[in-house]
Amino acid sequence: MLPISDRTRSLGTENAFVVLKEVLERVAAGRDVKSFCIGQPDFVTPDHIRLAAIDALVQGRTGYTPSAGIPELRAAVADAMRRTRRLDASQDDVVVACGAKPFIGYVVQTVTDPGAGHEVIFPAPGFPIYESQVRAQGAVPVPLPLRERNGFRPDPEELARLVGPRTRLLILNSPHNPTGAVLSPSDLEAIARVVEPYEDLWVFSDEPYSALVYDAEFASIASLPGMAERTVVVDSASKTYAMPGWRIGWAVNRRLAPLLARWVTNTDSCAPHVCQWAVAHALNAPQQAALAMREAFRERRDLVVKALEAVPGVRCVRPGGAFYAWPNVTDLCLAARLRDSEALRRVLLDEAGLAVLSDVHFGARIPGEGEHLRLSFAASAADLDEGVRRLDRFARSVRPQPVGSAARS
């Protein structure tokens, strides 16, 4: 048999798309399924941005661009960095790619060598591509546990125990996928104090939900004194402007920018030309549409958390950002006699017509942390209400109700 590499056989995936395939198969078979598994805005890209793309098409902007991106977009990103993060950034510090995701692999490849024992610390639970790319590029993955008792924010003392002379990269993600946790300025300052003594340690600050913070102002570790030089700030248009399919993201770091551009040359050549012009317009235009979407997500966050807290066997830490709820369903799993949250997820899909993700889709479970599901509230209020009702009906069907109690109507 023709061989397949061990690296490819062991390559991880993003299970949101695996579950989405299961959902679409059931919908095609006539099943009624409410899906909250994919993390993408349910809004259409605002009109003024789509019109900017049409104008770029009319002007014939359909060829290759510099691998780092068109100057107009890079300048717009640099301006946004100065405005939102107080970074002294220029367009030469910016590289554009086909979304934010490619920069995970690009940066790991840039700061670690395969087989050298270089370690990359990443949040757990966390975006599954972190660990997948660390392993694929021959580095050593080191999970940093995020615990419910700490609001799913890193414990600086635990981080300090994990960092060592082989650590080359620390990945941070705030607002966080899947928990919605937001790092405060004091959190970031404590992390920076751990990082500071290690001259070989880079920071990858993954910030695609930076515009979706609900109860405070967004803060980036790159804004702290001495941290911009060693931090790669990564963001995208996908969540802020409802543009996930346009595939435009960017990374900002003065020293690494030319090296990251070389990786783009070696892979995609450049990001889509027309899309770059649309995102440049999005960044430079008034931000009312983005702010309106953020307000809609905040309202949905409040609706979902309140509803989940009323479900028997469920409790939910209030997410400070992004558009995910991360409810603890340990008691519900026990009541339903299910071994874990993945078994619960499958039962909810098949019996309740409710599609969510389980915690195992975001890395190995942390001992003692119980069972969790991820529910994306990037959906209409009506769908969210119906989805939680389905969860509630299931929970009440497996748990005897006290005398005189009534299920949610």
What average pLDDT does the segment 290-308 reach?
Answer: 98
CATH of the domain at 229: 3.40.640.10
In a domain, 402, yes or no: no
Answer yes or no: do 158 and 72 share one domain. yes
Mean pLDDT of 330-340: 97
pLDDT at position 240 over 50: yes
Q: Domain containing 20: what range?
A: 6-44+289-397
Same domain, 20 and 162: no
Structure confidence at residue 45 (pLDDT): 98
Is the domain of 277 the same as that of 294?
A: no
Amino acid at 37: C
Any domain includes 374 = yes
Confidence of residue 404 (pLDDT cuts 50, 70, 90): very low
What secondary structure does DSSP assign to 332-376, as a single string? HHHHTT-SSHHHHHHHIIIII-EE-EETTBTBSPPTTS--BEEEE
Alpha helices in 36-163 (DSSP H): 47-58, 71-85, 102-111, 128-136, 156-162
Would you say residue 129 lies in a domain?
A: yes
Instruction: Quote the pLDDT of residue 400.
Output: 57
211 and 107 share one domain: yes
Please indicate, yes or no, if residue 238 is contained in any of the structural domains.
yes
pLDDT of residue 402: 46
37 and 58 inside one domain:
no
Same domain, 78 and 40: no
- By the 8 A CB rule, do 127 and 177 touch? yes
**End of a domain among 284, 300, 324?**
284
Q: How far apart are CA 298 and CA 304, in angstroms?
A: 10
- Residue 57 pLDDT greater than 70, yes or no: yes
Predicted confidence (pLDDT) at residue 407 exceeds the cutoff of 80: no
Mean pLDDT (whole number) for 50-70: 98
Percent of the chain having pLDDT more than 90? 91
Which of 25, 36, 74, 19 is CA-nearest to residue 307? 36
pLDDT score of 401 more than 60: no
Percent of the chain with pLDDT over 70: 98
Is a pLDDT exceeding 90 seen at residue 11?
no
Say yes or no to pLDDT of 373 above 90: yes
Is there a contact between 212 and 225 (Cβ–Cβ < 8 Å)?
no
Does one domain contain both 223 and 327? Answer: no
Give 226 or 11, the one with higher predicted confidence.
Answer: 226
> Cα dist. 179→243, 317, 333, 383 in Å?
22, 8, 19, 21
Domain annotation covers residue 404: no
Q: Does 146 map to a domain?
A: yes
More confident residue, 74 or 29: 74
Burial class (CB in 10 A: 0-12, 13-18, 19+), 386: middle
Mean pLDDT, residues 178-191: 98
**pLDDT (0 to 100) of residue 299:** 98
Residues 149 and 233 in one domain: yes
Domain count, the chain: 2
Same domain, 15 and 51: no
Range with the poorest average pLDDT among 16-30, 45-59, 187-201, 373-387: 16-30
Picking from 229, 253, 284, the residue at the C-terminal end of a domain is 284
Q: What is the pLDDT of residue 10?
A: 86
Q: Supply the CATH number for residue 329's domain.
A: 3.90.1150.10
Q: Is 313 contained in some domain?
A: yes
387 within 8 A of 375, measured Cβ to Cβ? yes
Same domain for 267 and 303, yes or no, is: no
> In this structure, are 165 and 306 located in the same domain?
no
pLDDT of residue 409: 30
If asked whether residues 321 and 380 sit together in one domain, one would say yes
- Mean pLDDT of the 271-291 span: 98
pLDDT exceeds cutoff 90 at 27: no
Q: Is residue 409 part of a domain?
A: no
User: What's the rounded mean pLDDT across residues 224-230?
Assistant: 97
Task: Report yes or no: 37 and 362 within 8 Å, Cβ to Cβ.
Answer: no
> What would the two tokens of residue 42 be?
């349910």
- Above 70 in pLDDT, residue 368? yes
Q: What's the pLDDT at 408?
A: 36
- Is the pLDDT confidence value at 38 over 90? no
- The alpha carbon dihedral of 211, 316, 388, 346 has a sign of positive
Asked which of 284, 305, 323 is the last residue of a domain, the reply is 284
pTM summary value: 0.94
